[in-house]
Amino acid sequence: MKDVKEILNKVEKGELKSKEAADILLSLSCENRRIKYAKKIKIRVHSKGENRRINLPPIPIWLVEKLALTAIIFSRYFNKNGNSHRRNIEERLHNKPEDKEINGLRNGKIKIDTEDLKKLFSILRYTPPCKLVEVNDDDNFVEIFMV
């Protein structure tokens, strides 16, 4: 298992745990070559039904991080003040107890912490150019790239 793609494919198939894969990747000897890291995030949206394409310009990773951290700060502010819009959402969620994930958010079981977000972006800064996410359904197609 000397090929990085082979290791990642085994993780994707479930044949190898992520911690084991990380240990293997760290133990691989690197050649004296410079690794290019992705600096931006690019999003493509294609709607097959309407035959439209949206290609957003590449956004610097640092800017996405600052926007995400700012969003968390604002959400905490409004969460503490308890505006009426938030109460309306909570009332609607309370009436649908079958949706456990959303109720988990409502009950505060799932939290987004700024430290976790900073760790995520520190990992993204050292990611080579790759495709992060691909979502495909019958009518729409979305791709998120690191470039």
Kindly report, residue by residue over 19-41, the tens digit of the pLDDT: 888 888 777 766 655 778 889 99
Same domain, 82 and 120: yes
Same domain, 68 and 125: yes
State which residues of the chain have pLDDT below 70.
1-2, 29-33, 77-112
Q: What is residue 57's predicted lDDT score, i.e. its pLDDT?
A: 93
- What span, in angstroms and rounded, lies between the C-alpha atoms of 33 and 128? 14
> Taking the model in full, what pTM does it have?
0.54
Residue 6 dihedral angles phi and psi, to the nearest 5°: -65, -40
Same domain, 3 and 27: yes
Q: What is residue 6's predicted lDDT score, i.e. its pLDDT?
A: 83
Q: What is residue 1's predicted lDDT score, i.e. its pLDDT?
A: 42
Same domain, 12 and 68: no
Do residues 122 and 115 lie in contact, with contact meaning Cβ atoms separated by under 8 Å? no
Q: What is residue 86's predicted lDDT score, i.e. its pLDDT?
A: 52
Same domain, 118 and 49: yes
Same domain, 86 and 131: yes
Q: Residue 1's domain spans which residues?
A: 1-33
Total of domains in the chain: 2
